[in-house]
Structures are given as C-alpha cells and as structure tokens.
Chains A and B, each alone.
Chain A
Amino acid sequence: MSFAKLTASTLAIAAVSATAAAARDNVQVAGSSTVLPYASIVAEAFGENFDFPTPVVESGGSSAGLKRFCEGVGENTIDIANASRAIREKEIEACAANGVTDIIEVRIGYDGIVFASQINGPEFTAFEPADWFNALAAELPVDGEIVANPNMTWADANADLPAVEIAAFIPGTKHGTREVFEEKVLLQGCEDTGAMEAFIASGMSEDDAEGACMAVRTDGKSVDIDGDYTETLARIDTNPNGLGVFGLAFYENNTDKLKVATMGGVEPSTETIASGEYPVSRPLFFYIKKAHIGVIPGLKEYAEFFVSNDIAGPSGPLANYGLVSDPELADTQATVAEEKTMGGAM
C-alpha cells in the first residue's frame, strides 16, 4: 500500500524539495554483527510498540561501530554502538578527544560459542580446551623443546578423539569471537597442558608466553573465516572432517546440519551458559551516547525497552533466538533508567 504510493510519488520526481538536512527522528545504531540479530529483533518490536520510528540498525563489526560512535556528538553521528566485547581504554580516550565523554555501558546478556561438526561426520562429541590447544597451537613444547606443532590428526592431540585430519574453521582476527576463542580455549588449554610453564621455562616473558599460547598454526590445518557463520557452515558442509566455531544462536538454527560437542564436559545451552558452567561465553554490550538522550526522540525508550524483562528476560524473544539472559538484568535496567555513565563519577 505504502509501497505503491511511494512508487507513484517517486515518479513525480520534479517535486524534490531541497530541505535535505531535516532533524533526525530515528535512533541510529551500528556495530557488532553478533549483536545485529538481537538489536534488529528489538528494533522491530520497538517500532511496533511505540510511536517512534523503527531504529536504524547497521552492522560492520564492534571496532568499526565504536569508531563511528566516537566520531563526535551531534545528529550526524550514531547514538548507540553494539559491541561483542567491552569498550577498550583506547577507544574511551578517542571518544573523549572528540567530545564523547558520557557513555552508558549496557550489558544485554551472554553469547555462547560452540564447537560443531557435520552431523554425519566423525564422532566429535567431547572436547577439552587442551585438545584445541594441542591441535591448533603454532608451537608446542615436546620433551622440553619448543617445536612446530607436530599433530596431524585429532587423535594426536587427544587419543580419545577420532583419528581424522585436523581441519578447523575458526573466526578471523577481526571478529570479537576470535578474542574469546583465544582467551577461553587456547590460553586455557595452554595452561591446562602445562605448555604455558614450558614456554616460560624456555626463556619467554609471561606476555610472550601468552602470545605463544594464543598463536594459531598457519600450515593450513586451521582456517580463519573472515566472513559469517554461514561461510563456516558451507566449509563444514563440504568437509566431513571439518570442525567449526559457531555462535550458539546460529547452531540452534541449524541443528539439522550440525552436531555440537561438549566443552569441558558441559553441553552448551542457554542454561549452562547462564549458570557459568559452560566455559566459552562472552558478554554482549551496547553503548549509549548520553548527550543524545533527550535530543534524539526514542533513544532512552529504546534502551529501556531493550533491557526490559519482556525482551531481554529469560523467556523473551532474545532468549528464544539464542541470547543467554543476564542474571543481573535488574542492575542493567537500573543503569539505563538512571543514565549511569561509565566511570560512575560523571
């Protein structure tokens, strides 16, 4: 209806008015592609329930979103940045340099990272962080010496695993997911196997040892996927021995093609992630420019709606899609209601 009207009106192109820079009346959001599905679910429900226009949600990655967020204050900058990691000290400084001083940090919940393989593939059912470290590390200590990773099959990494060639598809370095994978799986595995101590014993400083723990082999056994999970899924579809790293929500939408493995003996699910049993999860955030509250109509309402029990609660649409609801949601709601900025004092 509205479509037909618009098509007709565009034909009357001569009537273009020159008032280009009209005041913005919609909330603009950009940032993490992991948060994008959640933010768009909220934006859609927000448009349905309020008289404000539907917020505009763009993706582009956490870093890109925060960079745009920190460009300054004003109608031509975005109001909210979505991020799949906490804002960094450097970014706060960059923001401050551009006059963005009052930032409200909102944690919306947790996202689980799961390890899945082709449904008809080998029996990858249980992993420990140590298995992944042994399989993917660039260098390993063998008999007291640091050598390039000699493991060719998963059975080399852990005798209980199937003896198939290692073919792992992990998120590329531009993804926030990669950071979590490195810290919670590789580093953990490195410490569990004692490799960390071996690295330090070989004369590395602690920082270098951590770096060595998180370095991924580059001989083709591990493939960085810079695209989305659909690309990882396509790789696994064609490689029965492939193992991929996915978000919990993505896996839950594709259970007919993927089978998930436990990590540290715990099956990933919204329950085990919420309780903290499942080790590989991370918080998701969005950041609000306080200076825009009251200027951009609907900004505060959107933020409050996002963290309301109806939306972000354990039985809300976000949890249905795969977000692990934050047990401390009430605190977050208070933060938004009181417009409490980061650093507290401001």
Chain B
Amino acid sequence: MTDATSQNSVAGNERRTSSLYTLDARTRRRNAAETRFKIYGMTAVGIGLVFLVILLVTIVRNGIPAFTQTSFDMPVVLEAEALDPNGNRDPADISKVSTFGYNPLIEQALERLVAEHGIETEMSGADLRKMVSSGAAAQIRNTVLANPDLIGETVTFRVLASSRVDGYMKGRVTRDDLARDKNLDAEHLNIVDVLSEEGGLERAFNWAFITGSDASESRPEQAGIGVSMLGSLFMMLVVLLLALPIGVAASIYLEEFAPKNRWTDLIEVNISNLAAVPSIVFGILGLAVFIQLVGLPQSAPLVGGLVLTLMTLPTIIISTRASLKAVPPSIRDAALGVGASKTQAVFHHVLPLAMPGILTGTIIGLAQALGETAPLLLIGMVGFIASNYPDGITAGFLSPNSAMPAQIYEWAKRADPAYYERAWGGIIVLLLFLMTMNIIAILLRRRFERRW
C-alpha cells in the first residue's frame, strides 16, 4: 500500500505543479461555485426573512392601535323628569325611555364638562355629542335600569370616545383630515386636547376588543372579536370531535389492516389528492350538501365545522399514517410474538407510540382550519354581524355566528377607517392563536417523540 501510494505520488509529481496548499485553477473554480451557491442560498433565506419581518412589522404597526381605546369620564345628571316622568320608579316606566331619551342628558353633561374646563365653544350639545360613542346612551340606560335609585343623582360614567376622536389620539386622524368630515370638526379636537391634558380623557387597554361582540358601522369603537372567537371555538370543537376519530380510524385501517391491492392504492392516491384540493371546493360542497340537501341552518358554526372537517381529514390521515409507519415493525412483531391479536398489538402498542405524531398532525390541521376563510364565504359566515353571544351550547353550534378570519374580512370591508385598524388587530389575535397551537404541537413532539 505504502509503496503503491508513493509510486502514485511520484507519478503524480510530474503532473502536479503545486502542493495541496496552493489551489489550482480547477479547485478554485469548484470552491467559487460552492461559495456562489452558499450566497444564493443565503440570499433566498434573507429575502424570505425580510418579507417575514416586513409582514410582521406591518401587522403589528397597523394592529396594535386596536388594542387601546380612548375613553373619558363624564359626570351625567340623571334627571328624574326625563328618565322617570311619572316619578314612581317603576321599572316598566323607566324602561319606556329609549336610548334616544338619554341623548339630551349626554348633551347637557358635555356642555357642563366643556364649561368646567373653561373651554369656550359655540358648538351646541348635539354637536358635542359627536365626540362620544353612540353606545354611551345604552351604557347609561343599562346602568339606570339595573339601579333605578340612581335617578336624580349625578353619576360619573366612563364613556367611549367616538372613533374619530380615538383616531386623533392614535394619530390616525389629523386636523387636515377633518376639513370636510361631517362626523367631527377641528373644534372638537381643541376640547379633546384640553381634556387629555387636564386628565379625564385617556387611552387604555381595550379588553372589549378581545371579549366584545361586533358592532354596527356607526360605532366601530365598540366592536370586538369575542363572539366570532366563540364561533371559531365551536367550529374547532366540531372539527376535533369528527376529524380526529374518523381520521385516526381510517388511517389505522389503511396502515395496519387493509390488504395492499389496487383499491387501497386508489384510496391512498385520492387521499393525497384531497389534501391538495382548494378549500373553496369544500365550501361549495358544504353549501350543496349540508345546507341545501340536509337543510342545516345557514351561518351556523356546525356547518362551518363540518366543512372544515372535510378539509382537515386528509391532513390528519396523512400525518397519522406517517406516524404509524414510523413505529418500528419490531414492536408489532414482539406483541404478536407473545400472543397478542393484531387488534391488541395495534391498540396496546403501536397506537400509543404513534400518539404524539398523531396529535401534532391534528393540531396543525386544526390550526390550518382555524385560519381558513374561503369555505366560510359560501356558507354565510361572512357578511353577518356577530352581535349576539350564543346563549348555551346548542345555540353555540346552531345559531348564526361568524368566525375569526371571517370577522376580519368583514371589518376590512367596512367604510369607517377605524374598522380597518380593527381588522389588523383581529389578525394579531388570530396569529397569536395559531402560534399557540403550533407551539403546543412542537412541545408535544419534543416531549413525547421517540427515535428508534
């Protein structure tokens, strides 16, 4: 060997003009090609990262304002003549005064508030009311109805500022923008400036955005994503309860029991194809089958859940089969060897070992379904104002509701720019959910995954 090597090297010496340490032209070219390839790779990754950063920065920058809301303290005199004309504090009489009956009280309260702060203005009370959310009247009315003894007293309410005032506090609305805006004048902003300087008017964290219900177009300051979050929750329950058992049963059968023949091959190919079918196809299927044929209610989370189940099944089946395959045959052989039946071997030994993989696949499938909008467009979960909390679990499945991505789409369509901000805020909430689900999937995998 040594001889042969030395002979070779002697023979090579005639060809080689330099040592290994000085690179010849060919090596240099090969090295350059490698460096170039590395640069391409890094550029590709870099471009991806830049876009990700741009995306996240845009989402956060546009969406963060939705999580704060401007409100201010307003002492309101609850005049007995206006609220309880008969003076007998009868709840039936008091509830006859509609929210419109409370508007004059708000107007007077605003006039007093402005006067107290020494602001001179020629605006009437009705003009001043543009600063306050139109939901304020309902807020005061509900307080009075719950507590009729308050009538005749002066109570300080913390009311939401209107969306334009809120936009001004967030820097979205400028004085120039208001020049032709009939919803607010620059004069209002002078008052807002004084109120925020002297305290009383401030931006605070907006819990109502997370737990609240959708609101009409005239009061975006009150809208929240809570109800559609429940809609999504009920849909995910349907998906989980249907897709997990069906998907796991189908894949166990296909993987462990089914004979390998043309039919099972066909089924296998079709399952892989189904995973690639655009989700809108499942939406139109849901519309045709679940709503028009079976007669299930439109806009119901149950139908949404069924459609998303169809969409998620292939994902779950494929990942379940992959994790069943990953369990080494020696486990099955050992179980069969000590006399277990095939069913016992699968359910006592193979399935528990495959479980982490199955759960990971399921969670990722669910996360995909949570963010899905296209099939929901067709079954009426878009274009719907989710303003009612479902009362009870049955209603949660059957009464019309929206879903988080559908709600975001709905907000993005609305006229008031304040809703645009809320759409971005909704995206942040949705992304947080998706991130949580993916993190859980990763943790499960880390914790329970076994390698053989």
Contacts and interface: CB of A to CB of B under 8 A. Distances in A.
Interface stretch (A13-21, A182-190, A331-339): A13-21
Nearest to B172: A256
B142 to A, nearest CB: 8
A10 B413 contact: no
B385 A60 contact: no
Interface string B378-422: 001001110111101110111110000000000011111100000
A256 B295 contact: no
Interface in A45-67: 45, 47-49, 51, 53-54, 56-60
Contacts of A76: 295, 297
Nearest to B295: A76
Contacts of A250: 415
Contacts of A4: 211
B297 A10 contact: no
Contact of B380 (A10, A45, A58, A254): A58
Contacts of B98: 49, 310
B58 interface: no
Please report whether the interface of chain A is mostly helix, strand, loop or mixed according to DSSP: helix
B296 to A, nearest CB: 10
Interface residues of B, number: 55
A40 B411 CA distance: 14
A310 B388 contact: no
A252 B182 contact: yes
A261 to B, nearest CB: 13
Interface string A251-266: 0111110000000000
A76 B291 CA distance: 12
Nearest to A247: B415
Contacts of B387: 40, 43-44, 47, 54
A26 B179 CA distance: 42
B380 A252 contact: no
Given A6-B230, A229-B415, A317 B183 contact: no
A238 interface: no
Contacts of A44: 215-216, 219, 387
Nearest to B382: A59
B451 interface: no
B193 interface: no
B319 interface: no
B233 interface: yes
Interface in B173-191: 173, 176-183
A321 B211 CA distance: 26
Interface of A: 2-4, 6-7, 9-10, 12-13, 15-17, 19-20, 22, 26, 28, 33, 36-37, 40-41, 43-45, 47-49, 51, 53-54, 56-60, 76, 227-230, 249-250, 252-256, 310, 315, 317, 320-321
Given A3-B211, A40-B217, A58-B400, 17 more contacts: A6-B389, A9-B393, A10-B234, A10-B396, A19-B394, A41-B217, A44-B216, A44-B387, A45-B99, A48-B141, A60-B380, A252-B181, A253-B417, A254-B415, A256-B177, A256-B178, A310-B100
Nearest 4 pairs between A and B by C-beta?
Answer: A256-B177, A59-B383, A37-B217, A40-B216
